[in-house]
Amino acid sequence: MADSVPLPPSSVSAAASQFGPFDGRIWLNTAHQGPLPQPAVVAAADAVALKVAPHRIADDAFDEVPERLRTLLAGLVGSPPDQIVLGNSTSYGLHLVANGLPWRAGDEVLVLAGDYPATVLPWQRLSDRGVTTTALHPAGDLLTAGELAAAITDRTRVCAVTWVDSFTGRALDLNALGTVCRQAGVLLVVNASQALGARPLDVTSTPVDAGATPACATIWASAPSTSSARPISLTSCHGRRLSSCWPTPASRPSPTGISSWSAGSSPGSTRTATGSSAPSADRAGRPSSFSRRPAVPAGSVASG
């Protein structure tokens, strides 16, 4: 287990002042419900006020909030903004990945026995397409690179795991598992809930191909250009199994040009999103949350 590195007291105090009040309580159960910081509360209230009087919503508001959020989230994981998809939950994001990949009968997905349902169910639902989901049973508390390498066959297409276990708090070694996957030509898909934001991640150096978090189902969907794995793209809305799409700035000329909008199929994930990009209380508050997030130095959260 790595030694934890405490954040400076000034950073802790500044961050704490943005939350609450909790009526004299200390709220620790953020794995279940994370409290909104006050700037996000204000931004969400402003978005609700705009929906009450929609004549005040400017055309550029349809693009500005989601694009600002996409840019902030891209900086959080080291991904280009056009590889970030905005959705509504981690489950949605993982379903989007599962249904956006081309599958062949006989393909296999590796998961962990007893893993969080959101990480497992999207792949099990592919059974009607001939895809098999195989549950691995690690000998110890965590899946090791050796165990993963031994489990991969020529049918294995994806390994889907949860970075930090929601029940135990134990963290997988993404570098070790991702290296095994890259060597075998297997995609590593990660549920980054409970981890991203507390643990640093740079997808240009960490061999993870796609992932999702509760932050609007953030999905980064590209492998580093130097990797042996092929980059994956979830941009096409033409697949019959792909979930709902909404055109974003890359695929529409302007908010008034609705008749010329198209789903598109070129590289980049900004063409795929869930629902409308119209201002909403949920999405409006997120840029305020992320833009005020204190920097978390590497090692500030103990591993293991």
Averaged in consecutive runs of 10 residues, what is the pLDDT profile of the chain (304 residues)? 62 85 86 83 89 88 82 85 81 87 95 93 95 96 97 97 88 96 94 85 86 65 38 37 41 44 42 51 56 48 44
β-bridge mates for residue 160, sequence order: 189
Instruction: Specify whether the CB–CB gap between 89 and 282 falls below 8 A.
Output: no
Please give the pLDDT value at position 274: 53
What is the reported pLDDT for 287?
A: 60
State whether the Cα torsion 39-41-47-53 is positive or negative.
negative
| Residue 3 pLDDT | 45
Residue type, 248: T
- Helical ranges in 21-127 per DSSP H: 38-52, 61-77, 90-100, 117-124
The edge-to-edge listing of strands for the beta sheet with 187-191 is: 84-85, 219-220, 210-212, 187-191, 156-162, 108-112, 132-136
For domain 89-243, give the CATH number. 3.40.640.10
- Identity of the amino acid at 243: S
pTM for this entry: 0.75
Residue 256 confidence (pLDDT): 45
How many beta carbons lie within 10 A of that of residue 136, not counting itself? 16
Residue with tokens 């959080």, as numbered in its chain:
76
Round to whole Å and give the CA distance between 243 and 295: 34
CA-to-CA distance for 210 and 203, rounded, in angstroms? 9
Residue 164, SS3 per DSSP: strand
